[in-house]
Amino acid sequence: MIENVLLLALALFSVSIALSLYRVIRGPSMPDRAIALDTIGINLLSSIAIVSIVLQTKAYLEAILILGILAFIGTIAFTKYIERGVIVERKSND
Amino acid sequence: MFLLQVLYIFIPMLAAILVPFLYKSIKNIHTGWFVLAVPATLVIIYASYIAKVAKGEVFQAELPWIPSLDISVVSYLDGLSLLFSLLITGIGSLVVLYSIFYLDKHKEKLHNFYVYLLLFMSAMLGVVQSDHLITLYFFWELTSISSFLLIGYWYTRDASRFGALKSMMITVGGGLMMLGGFILLSIMGGTYSIRELIVIAPDLVGHPLFTWSLVLLLLGAFTKSAQFPFYIWLPDAMEAPTPVSAYLHSATMVKAGLYLVARFTPIFAVSELWVWLVTGVGLLTLFWGSFFALKQTDLKGILAFSTVSQLGLIMSLLGGGAVAFHVNGAADLVFKFAAFAAIFHLINHATFKGSLFMIAGIIDHETGTRDIRKLGGLMSIMPLSFTVAAIGSFSMAGLPPFNGFLSKEMFLSAMLALNEFELFGFDTWGALFPIVAWIASIFTFIYSFYFVFRTFAGQYKPEQFPRKPHEAPIGMLISPMILAAFVVIIFFIPNLIGDTFVKPAVQAIQPFLYDSPSAIDIHVSAWHGLQPELFMTIGIVIIGVLLFVALPKWQGLYNLFPRSLTFNNAYDKIMQGLDVGLYRISRLYMTGSMRHYLLYMFSGIVAIVLGTLFVKDAFSISFEGAAPIRSYQIILIIVLVIGTATTILAKSRLTAIIGLGSVGYTVALFFVIFNAPDLALTQLVIETISVALFLLAFYHLPKLGKREERMRFQLNRAIISIAVGVMVTLIALSAHSQKLIPSISKYYKETVYSLAGGGNIVNVILVDYRGFDTLFEITVLSIAGMAILAMIKLRMNRKEKAHENK
């Protein structure tokens, strides 16, 4: 029973990833794409958590944490790029 | 003692090492005087063999070279090799003597000249004495190379370099063919030794490689001996200094091909093809060379064509010698003359042609020109040269009392004899042989007269000569006079020469006819009765004189022969065509575009892999043992496909990068569901970094040409992409379906804790079981890091430098 519920959840996450992916591809503006990517990251994170329950392992906990960090950093970098045009700013005398 | 015999071959080569030192340290004495000692000594050494070899003895010595491959330098002295060795060293001595007076010791680079010449002498001795096929080839190529160096001696002249290159291309090309023939021979016979091959010759005939080896070997002989149509290098080789022309291009090197044919006659004479090729090509060359000699205006050009023609004569006689194999009781018939005549004329030709070349050199030296149209009336000014030239020319024309008469008579006898045998259709085509030979002899007569009388008779026109002509110094005349003396002496004592030199050589050529030299019952006589050949000779003289007198009236006909139909033109066109054609072919596929190369590579891979799968019948699909497919896996695959499609079809680069990123993350997800946490972790991080790098690269694209447009569709690329995809899929399926050996991962699973003391099997493999790979992957990463750093930093430095230089 619980297995089926987990699989259903996984499928739903996949659908939401697919929908977000559509937004990434079409997404008329850059911020749309950035947000969609961030959503994909969070959904991935959640589906990995579900998968690790399905597989009954703790091995993916690091992956979940890493994904969280990466999604955050990625979104920050993306937004900064959209805002300023550069990601790593240099000192003016550099 | 026996080993010494091999070392004699190398004496000139060893002496060549000393020449530059002598040249540098002793300036007062002409270097040639030291060099002269080398061939002179060798003549004496080889002369000591004459008496024994004439009795039929042979001498053999071996110097192992690469024993494990059965390669050694074998010196084998029988009648044939001894005759050639004596010619090489004897005429070599005379040529060195002549060159001492011909080449100025201050103006010329004598050390080069004598080093090349001595090298050539060694090579030539090696060719004629080698009994081992591979070392024979080695020396053969050495003659080509040293001849190349000698022809290009005046390397600042264009014509010299052209002639040297041309002779090199043709003779080395032929030499390679010959090597092929040799290798086939050694495969057939199982031995490298020529003597052993001769012994087992009857067994070789039926071998499928026999004809190939025959043709290849003959190609080598024909190119070296300037036979039709490969004679074209010889006239161009006349740019060499005259001593070289006299030595290489009349007496020795061009006879290497004749030697080869003579040496291999006992092996190949069984074959009709050999007889036809050797005789036919020889006669054609004889006619062609004598016909076109009259077109030449350069003295050495006439002599070059005459050499070509005379070599053809000897070649056709060697072919006749091979026919004797097919005739029962040939030793009792008139037919036996052929091989004897070949060797006899070979000696005669070496004497008179050597002297004629030297005379041509003297005329060039003393008048400053070799153009026969400017020369004339030198008879009273250069009486000695005239005498020598007349003796040589009359001998060449085949007049008594000179040796050429004897050999020409024998030549005509042999050709008439060929006609009489109903052998492989000789009764029909063979009738042509004496006729062609007779016409060629007429032309020979005319050009001999043309050579001597246009130069020495007629009107003296001093204003046409660049220098004031006078008789040559006596030193220069010694060598041609000695040779001219031989021309006359041989006429009067032909049987002495015949018994000592010719018969042992004939026995080497025709071991199937004679057991020993004394069994050859040929007696040369100047007067042998009213035979048909005598009338033929009379005819030659009468028609020759008539035509020579009328020469100015019809010589213009030669100009009608179009230049575009000559073999020289063909050679030029071939070389040019190869140059241009190959350049075009390379340009055709080497476009410089990476895309084209990738197309070639991918289509190549697809063709090879799919071809192999198909040919080996290795293609199979079986889903046995495959895991069941889950619904979420299908969804993930759909996502993956959408991501990939987005990357390919994206309009903007940014979309493509994002599509690629989504593919990467989906792959990470696949790692998750396929139980690979470490891989998933790494994949996530790496994907993020590479997407960031892509974005960086995207941002720095230049403004110009940054047109955002969809990738253009091209059918060939689409086909190849699909083919590659299909190929990889098929391979994966086939590989999965045919697993032969079980995986070794069981061992890791069992021992990961007990042996390595770890729980994470992936990490233990990476750093313990197979840490070496990890080490070098770390190295790769550090190299990449350093390279990126270097690329960025060094580019800036160069910019600064370029700035400073301004």
pLDDT in tens, B243-269: 998 998 888 889 999 999 999 988 888
Q: How far apart are CA B359 and CA B352, in angstroms?
A: 11
Residues sharing a CB contact under 8 Å with residue B694, sequence separation 6 or more, in sequence order? B657, B660
User: What per-residue confidence (pLDDT) applies to B526?
Assistant: 54
> Reduced to 3 states, what is the DSSP secondary structure of residue B742?
coil
Residues 6 or more apart whose Cβ sits within 8 Å of residue A48:
A60, A63, A64, A67, B669, B672, B680
**Is residue B783 over pLDDT 90?**
yes
pLDDT recorded at residue B380: 82
Q: Which residue among A11, A74, A87 sits closest to B688, beta carbon to beta carbon?
A: A74
Ramachandran category for residue B356: left, alpha or beta (phi over 0 → left; psi -120 to 50 → alpha): alpha
Q: What is the pLDDT of residues B435-449, one digit of tens each?
A: 888 889 999 999 998
Mean pLDDT of B65-72: 89
pLDDT at residue B806, rounded to an integer: 45
A81/B contact by beta carbon, under 8 A: yes
Taking residues B507-513, report their average pLDDT.
Answer: 82
Q: What pTM value is reported for the model?
A: 0.81
* DSSP helix/strand/coil, B298: strand
Question: B310 near B292, Cβ under 8 Å?
Answer: no
CB pairs under 8 A between A and B: 80
**Three-state secondary structure string covering B407-444:** HHHHHHHHHHHHHHCCCCCHHHHCCHHHHHHHHHHHHH
pLDDT at B802: 55
Contact call for residues A81 and A33 (beta carbons, < 8 A)? no
The mean pLDDT of B725-742, rounded to a whole number, is 84
Contacts of B662 in chain A (CB under 8 A): 21, 24, 40
Q: Does A73 touch chain B (CB under 8 A)?
A: yes
DSSP label of B291 = H
Residues with Cβ within 8 Å of B88's Cβ and at least 6 positions away in sequence, in order, are B39, B121, B124, B125, B128, B251, B252
C-alpha span between B373 and B557 (Å, rounded):
17
Q: Cβ(B416)–Cβ(B409) under 8 Å? A: no
Chain segment B150-207, per-residue pLDDT in tens: 999 999 999 999 999 999 999 999 999 999 999 999 998 888 998 888 888 777 888 8
Confidence of residue B706 (pLDDT cuts 50, 70, 90): low
Query: Do you find a cis peptide bond into B229, omega within 30 degrees of 0?
Result: yes
Is A66 part of any domain? yes
Identity of the residue in A33, A41, A51 whose CB atom sits nearest the CB atom of B672:
A51
- pLDDT score, position B127: 93
Start-to-end CA distance of chain A, whole Å, equals: 62
Of B524, B255, B543, B283, the closest CA to residue B410 belongs to: B524
Residue A11 near residue B632, CB atoms below 8 Å: yes
Whose CA is closest to B639, among A61, A43, A82? A43
How confident is the model over B524-558, as pLDDT tens digits?
Answer: 665 566 677 788 888 888 888 888 888 888 777 77
**Alpha-carbon gap, residue B416 to B565, rounded angstroms:** 32
Residues whose CB is less than 8 angstroms from the CB of residue B568 and which lie 6 or more positions away in sequence, other chains included: B232, B236
Contact B201, B59 (CB under 8 A): no
Report residue B764: phi and psi, to 5°. Answer: -65, -40
Question: Is the separation of the CB atoms in B247 and B114 below 8 Å?
Answer: no
Mutation site, B669, B691, B792, interface A, largest A CB count within 10 A? B669
pLDDT digits (tens, 9 = 90+) for B672-701: 888 888 888 889 889 888 988 887 787 777
| pLDDT classification of A94: cutoffs 50, 70, 90 | very low
Between B532 and B801, residue with greater pLDDT = B532
Q: How far is A81 from chain B (nearest CA, A)?
A: 10
Q: Is the dihedral of CA B677, B679, B684, B689 positive or negative?
A: positive
| CB-CB neighbors (< 8 A) of B679 in chain A | none
Q: What is the pLDDT of residue B328?
A: 67
What integer pLDDT is reported at residue B330 of this predicted model? 60
Instruction: List phi, psi (to 5°) of B66.
Output: -125, 85
Is the Cβ pair B662, A21 closer than 8 Å?
A: yes
What is the interface pTM, i.e. ipTM, of the complex? 0.73
3-state secondary structure B760-803: CHHHHHHHHHCHHHHHHHHHHHHHHHHHHHHHHHHHHHHHHHHH
Q: Which two tokens stand for residue B190?
A: 């199982």
10 Å Cβ neighbour count for B509?
A: 27
**What pLDDT sits at residue B560?**
74
B422: CB partners within 8 A, 6+ apart = none
User: What would the two tokens of residue B284 be?
Assistant: 């054609």
Q: Which residue has the higher pLDDT, B98 or B296?
A: B98
* Total length of chain B: 806
Q: Is A93 within a domain? A: no
Question: How is residue B744 annotated by DSSP?
Answer: S
Indicate which of B636, B662, B761, B762 best probes the interface with A, i.e. most A CBs within 10 Å of its own CB. B662
Helix (H, G, I), strand (E, B) or coil at B713: coil
Q: What is the mean predicted confidence (pLDDT) over B234-238?
A: 89
Q: What is the average pLDDT score of chain B?
A: 85
For residue B666, pLDDT over 70 is answered with: yes
For Cα atoms B737, B741, B743, give the angle at the middle one, nearest 5 degrees.
95
pLDDT of B710 higher than 70: no
Q: Domain for residue A41, yes or no?
A: yes
Sign of CA pseudo-dihedral B394, B398, B401, B404: positive
**Mean pLDDT value across residues B713-718:** 84
CA dihedral sign, ordered B763, B768, B774, B775: positive
Residue B103's SS3 state is coil
Q: Who's near B541: CB < 8 A, 6+ residues apart?
A: B399, B445
In a domain, A57, yes or no: yes
3-state secondary structure at position B379: coil
Tally of domains in chain A: 1
CA distance B761 to B43: 84
Cα(B304)–Cα(B243) distance, integer angstroms: 14
**Alpha-carbon distances, residue B704 vs B117, B458, B593, B693, B701 (angstroms):** 66, 82, 21, 21, 9
Instruction: Give CA–CA dist B52/B321, Å, rounded.
Output: 25
pLDDT tens column, B86-114: 999 999 999 999 999 888 888 888 888 99
Structure confidence at residue B119 (pLDDT) = 93
- Rounded Cα distance between B635 and B640, Å, is 9
Which residues have a Cβ under 8 Å from the Cβ of B571 and sit 6 or more positions away? Answer: B166, B232
Residue in chain A nearest B641 by alpha carbon: A18
B73 pairs with which residues across the strands? B63
pLDDT of residue B708: 58
- Asked whether residue A61 is domain-assigned, the answer is yes
CB contact under 8 A, A14 and B639: yes
> Is B672 in contact with A48 (Cβ distance < 8 A)?
yes
Query: How would you classify the pairing of strands B59-66 and B71-77?
Result: antiparallel
Measure B801 CA to nearest chain A CA, in Å. Answer: 20
Residue B782, Cβ density class (10 Å: 0-12 exposed, 13-18 middle, ≥19 buried): exposed
> Which alpha helices (DSSP H) does A1-94 contain, by range?
2-26, 30-55, 61-84
- Does a structural domain hold residue A92? no
Q: How many residues does chain A have?
A: 94
* CA dihedral over B778, B781, B783, B785, signed as positive or negative: negative
- The mean pLDDT of B67-81, rounded to a whole number, is 89
Residue B117 has pLDDT above 90, yes or no: yes
Residue A11 is assigned to a structural domain of this protein: yes
Residues facing residue B64 across a β-bridge: B72
Least confident segment among B139-143, B479-483, B549-553: B549-553
- Rounded to whole angstroms, how far apart are CA atoms B375 and B380? 13
Token digits of residue B790: 């270097």
Structure tokens at B689: 């970094």
Q: Which amino acid does the sequence have at B137? A: Y
CA angle B87, B335, B507 (to 5 degrees): 40
| CA neighbor of B392 nearest in space, from B327, B265, B508, B307 | B307
Q: Is residue A90 part of a domain?
A: no
The pLDDT score that the predictor gives to residue B427 is: 54
pLDDT digits (tens, 9 = 90+) for A15-73: 898 888 788 778 788 888 888 888 988 888 898 898 888 888 887 888 888 888 888 88
Q: How far apart are CA A19 and CA A13, in angstroms?
A: 10
Subunit contact A25:B669, Cβ cutoff 8 A: no
Question: H/E element holding B95?
Answer: helix B79-102
Round to whole Å and give the CA distance between B410 and B313.
Answer: 11
Are the beta carbons of A7 and B677 separated by less than 8 Å?
Answer: no
β-bridge partners, A66 = none
- Give me the domain span that covers residue A47: 2-84
Say whether pLDDT at B746 is over 90.
Answer: no
Cβ burial, residue B447 (10 Å; 0-12/13-18/19+): buried
Listed in sequence order, the DSSP H helices in B616-705 are: 631-649, 653-673, 677-699
What's the DSSP call for residue A58?
S
pLDDT top residue among B378 and B1? B378
Write the residue in A21, A24, A66 that is nearest to B684 by C-beta: A66
A6 touching B (Cβ < 8 Å): no
